Amino acid sequence: MTVHLVVGGRWFALHGSAGGRAAPPSPSSRRRRMVRTGHHDTLGVFFLDHPPIRRFRVDLVPGAARSDRHAERLLRDVPHGFEVEDELYLLEVVGADTTVLLQTELPDDVTPDGFGFAVPKDRSLLPDGRSRALATLRVVPRADADPAAEPGGVAYVALGHCHNPSSNSQPFVDASVAADGTTPLTFTGAWDTAEFNQLLHNGIA
């Protein structure tokens, strides 16, 4: 992948791409925690955990669309704010060269005790102390240092959970999705929204 990026290639990644392997922190532990690997450094984010599926607002980071040609391309015609029902990924932003493009306001981790993965330290809170990253961009300099050629780039969007009766593993959902907490047997969430589909269109154009 790195070879692809340093010659101007692009990687558009969604949702579970920020995950990977989970392992118990000790032989006696019943809960697993996510394991950071090299691909997270390339991607620019590392998935820690998520609370139950919930409804939340997605906001464009001020100035993000003007930060780079890759960012302008991905965010073209995406509104400054919209709402979705999805897994709200808690992501650690990896590397000083990773720029946050979309975010949500969530000052406190609302994951119920015992739900999801073990997180010894919440490293997903952004420097403002209230926001979490939902889309990021890494610009990768070209190996040939050609100033006239476009650099490589890695764009990641955290939205995109879906399941059907055979793949569902959600024990319950937030009351913002179902008042009684019952998990929908079939869930397509962000995939049914115009805003997410615009991001998909932009990312693969």
| Domains recognised in the chain with CATH numbers | 2-204 (3.40.50)
Residue pLDDT, tens place only, 143-195: 887 877 888 899 999 999 999 999 999 999 999 999 999 999 999 999 999 99
Q: Is the pLDDT of residue 24 over 90?
A: no
Mean pLDDT throughout 62-71?
A: 89
Nearest CA among 119, 126, 115 for reference residue 174: 115
Name the pTM for this structure: 0.94
Tell me what the pLDDT averaged over the chain comes to: 94
pLDDT of residue 88: 98
Angle at alpha carbon of residue 64, lines to 63 and 65, rounded to 5°: 95
Quote the CA–CA distance of 155 and 164 in Å, as a whole number. 27
Amino acid at 81: G
Note the pLDDT of residue 143. 87
25 backbone dihedrals φ, ψ, rounded to 5°: -70, -20
